[in-house]
């Protein structure tokens, strides 16, 4: 039940409209979201190919999803962490299958500015722990870079990677150009790990071109 | 402790961040940069109206222009021409280099009014800012939904707040706070159905109160005809009332009911969930004979020529006294068709329905003495 990870809500976590509380509400799994947003956020896991790498995803990167992530990551609306992976926790856990979770890191400057790691918090709300084995080199904000400069972004493995086993999952929030995700995946593969990738939202161009 | 801005007090609205308690409702508002509104480059002429204002409208318009009080309440019956009365006031203030904004709770009304205003004040750039229309935020005259008020803190000298009693503005402390932050000098509030608490505030704070109970058509407001019948007979009664002539708006209380009745009557339905709202309305306007099933989304701010109205399940709690008065006010708004039919079909006795009929009768007595 959701109550294991999430306190009972009387208002939709996303839009703050009051939720209908009836006698059987305790039996409903997702009663921290209104009906409209349940329809948006509860979705099965899907997959697509990004330059020969299979990437699993939950949502298309629509303006609605973009605004949710923007509010969470840039306005620091921390309770929205429960809107990211919690509505799809069942399929996510089934897909992860007890493998160690790595997240695509943000720059150190951005993390310090925020005071929290959005992906880590979104996973911890679901009771999932991630290992911060990857680090991003440089301090510039990703969204301020052009596509060309994004391709020069480098990542490295830190000492936390010693605890990893051979098969791991790599999770990111958004995949637009796909560069960060693929660079991290290739880096891990070069160290001999078997990597599977998953993102919360993916740009529509990846879905339409390479639908699996 | 409630949030000092939006008065929210439920724990769901708050969280702790770096030692501070943050209100989620106010969060998105606080982090955006305010928009700077422009002023017309040239002196504005009078509004290009295709008709002349009635003596009563001219009187109201003059009273508005001359008033210097911070809060003005314009109480006018549905179809009295509130918009036309305010036009001269807006032009006067813009010519005095005062920035003017127009806030309306309903998106549909914002879009419709924007088109109308652009035609009558062609020298001035008019824009609508609401859901789906947020690319351009600055113009000489900005019409916006009350939800967009967060973009304009202290941006206007004068604010016109239309339909003060309409959902979702009414009773929403956050929106009321945001609106109160948008203007520096004057706020003109307008409605046909002013709620009791606002009337009380108006008398306590000595607001200027301007009234207009007379329609330009010089015809009294249509008094609704109440039809009491059994619950299962309501639909049949409605079918019986619908002749094949003219346009009929059928108001129903819920989305699902709108969907089912539109299927049974083989006509369009319009609810807040409808995807192509503008095209549905355009289709309805373009036809001489048509039916449109709708929820309270069309209760105010829209004008259709030669339209008649039926309210199904008028006793339903969705239909408040104000809401029913506004619905009845959709009929007889044009000079060519000053009369029409209004039916309230109900299976129960309702205080709201009775109060609405009483109010309309009172307004007619004040205006025409009959």
- Domain span holding position A168: 43-209
Q: Assess whether A27 and A123 both reside in one domain.
A: no
Best interface-test mutation with A: which of B12, B33, B131 has the largest number of A CBs within 10 A? Answer: B12
pLDDT confidence tier of residue A27, bands split at 50, 70 and 90: low
Q: What is the DSSP string of B148-194?
A: GGGG-TT-EEEEEEE-TT-TTTTT-HHHHHHHHTTEEEEEEEEESS-
**Structure confidence by residue, pLDDT tens digits, B81-91:** 888 899 999 99
Rg (CA), chain B: 21
CATH of domain B35-212: 3.40.50.300
Q: Where are the alpha helices (DSSP H) in A74-133?
A: 89-96, 108-114, 118-125
State the ipTM, two decimals: 0.79
Half-sphere exposure of A139 (CA within 13 A, CB side): 4
Write down the pLDDT at residue B105.
92
Across the interface, whether the CB atoms of A115 and B27 are under 8 A apart is answered: no
Write down the pLDDT at residue B342.
93
Average pLDDT over all residues of chain B = 88
By Cβ distance, the residue of B13, B25, B31 closest to A75 is B31
Q: Assess whether A176 and A138 both reside in one domain.
A: yes
Average pLDDT over all residues of chain A = 82
Cα distances (Å, whole numbers) of residue A108 to A103, A124, A134, A149, B163: 14, 20, 11, 18, 50
Q: How many helices (H) and strands (E) does chain A have?
A: 8, 7
The reported pTM is: 0.67
Q: Assess whether A98 and A28 both reside in one domain.
A: no
pLDDT confidence tier of residue B65, bands split at 50, 70 and 90: very high
Cα B247 to Cα B249: distance, rounded to the nearest angstrom: 7
Q: Which residues of A touch B7 (CB under 8 A)?
A: none
Q: What is the DSSP string of B81-145?
A: -HHHHHHHHHHHHHHTT--EEEEES-HHHHHHHHHHHHHH-TTS-EEEEBTTB-S----SEEEEE
Q: Assess whether A14 and A82 both reside in one domain.
A: no
Segment B160-171 shows an average pLDDT of 89
> Which of the 8 DSSP states describes residue B53?
P
CATH 3.40.50.300: which residues of chain B?
Answer: 35-212, 225-368
Residues 35-94 of A with CB under 8 A from B: 71, 74-79
Q: Which fold does the domain B225-368 belong to in CATH?
A: Rossmann fold (3.40.50)
Q: Assess whether A31 and A116 both reside in one domain.
A: no
Locus of tokens 């750039």 = B125
pLDDT above 60 (res A30): no
Q: Assess whether A52 and A101 both reside in one domain.
A: yes
Neighbour tally for B169: CB within 10 Å: 23
Across the interface, whether the CB atoms of A115 and B17 are under 8 A apart is answered: yes
Domain count, chain A: 2
Write down the pLDDT at residue A144.
56
Q: Assess whether A65 and A3 both reside in one domain.
A: no
Can you read off the two tokens belonging to residue B216? 């330009």
Cross-strand partners of B227: B345
Nearest alpha carbon to residue B113 among B93, B133, B99, B97? B133
Cross-strand partners of A11: A18
- Peptide bond preceding B168 in cis form (omega within 30 of 0): yes
Write down the pLDDT at residue A145.
57
Rg (CA), chain A: 17
pLDDT above 70 (res B44): yes
**Structure confidence by residue, pLDDT tens digits, A92-150:** 999 999 999 999 998 888 888 888 999 999 999 999 998 888 888 765 555 555 655 55
């Amino acid at each position: 039940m959701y109550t294991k990870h999430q306190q009972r809500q009387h208002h939709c976590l996303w839009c703050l409209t009051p939720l209908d509380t009836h006698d059987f509400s305790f039996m409903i799994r997702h009663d921290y979201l209104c009906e409209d947003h349940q329809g948006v956020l509860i979705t099965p896991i899907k997959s697509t190919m990004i330059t020969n790498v299979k990437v699993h995803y939950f949502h298309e990167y629509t303006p609605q999803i973009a605004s949710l992530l923007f509010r969470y990551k840039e306005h620091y609306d921390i309770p929205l962490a429960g809107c990211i992976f919690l509505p799809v926790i069942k399929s996510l856990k089934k897909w992860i299958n007890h493998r160690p979770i790595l997240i695509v890191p943000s720059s150190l400057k951005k993390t310090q500015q925020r005071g929290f790691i959005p992906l880590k918090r979104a996973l911890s709300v679901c009771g999932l722990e991630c290992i911060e084995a990857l680090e991003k080199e440089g301090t510039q904000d990703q969204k301020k870079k052009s596509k060309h400069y994004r391709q020069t972004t480098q990542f490295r493995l830190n000492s936390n990677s010693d605890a990893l086993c051979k098969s791991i999952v790599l999770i990111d929030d958004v995949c637009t150009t796909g560069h960060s995700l693929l660079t991290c995946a290739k880096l891990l593969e070069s160290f001999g790990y078997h990597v599977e990738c998953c993102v919360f939202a993916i740009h529509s161009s990846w879905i339409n071109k390479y639908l699996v | 402790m409630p949030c000092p801005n939006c008065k929210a007090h439920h724990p769901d609205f708050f969280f702790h961040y770096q030692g501070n308690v943050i209100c989620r409702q106010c969060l998105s508002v606080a982090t955006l940069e305010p928009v700077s509104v422009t002023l017309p480059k040239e002196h504005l002429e009078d509004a290009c109206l295709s008709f002349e204002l009635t003596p009563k409208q001219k009187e109201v318009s003059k009273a508005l222009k001359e008033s210097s009080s911070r809060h003005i309440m314009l109480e006018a019956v549905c179809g009295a021409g509130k918009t036309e009365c305010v036009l001269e006031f807006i032009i006067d203030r813009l010519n005095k280099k005062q920035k003017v904004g127009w806030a309306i709770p309903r998106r549909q009304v914002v879009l419709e009014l924007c088109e109308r205003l652009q035609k009558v004040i062609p020298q001035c750039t008019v824009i609508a800012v609401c859901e789906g229309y947020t690319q351009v935020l600055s113009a000489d005259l900005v019409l916006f939904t009350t939800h967009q008020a967060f973009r304009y803190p202290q941006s206007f000298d004068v604010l016109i707040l239309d339909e003060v009693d309409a959902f979702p503005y009414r009773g929403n402390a956050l929106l009321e706070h945001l609106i109160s932050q948008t203007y520096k000098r004057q706020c003109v509030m307008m409605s046909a159905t002013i709620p009791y608490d606002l009337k009380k505030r108006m008398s306590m704070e000595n607001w200027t109160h301007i009234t207009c109970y007379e329609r330009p058509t010089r015809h009294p407001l249509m008094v609704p005809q109440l039809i009491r019948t059994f619950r299962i007979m309501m639909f049949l009664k409605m079918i019986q009332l619908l002749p094949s002539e003219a346009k009929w708006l059928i108001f129903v209380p819920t989305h699902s009911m709108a969907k089912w009745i539109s299927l049974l009557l083989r006509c369009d339905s319009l609810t807040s969930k409808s995807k192509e709202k503008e095209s549905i309305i355009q289709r309805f306007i373009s036809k001489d004979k048509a039916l449109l099933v709708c929820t309270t989304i069309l209760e105010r701010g829209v004008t259709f020529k030669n339209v008649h109205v039926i309210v199904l399940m008028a006793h339903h709690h969705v239909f408040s006294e104000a809401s029913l008065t506004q619905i009845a006010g959709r009929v007889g708004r044009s000079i060519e068709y000053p009369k029409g039919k209004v039916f309230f079909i109900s299976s129960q006795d309702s205080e709201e329905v009775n109060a609405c009929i009483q109010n309309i009768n009172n307004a007619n007595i004040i205006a025409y003495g009959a």
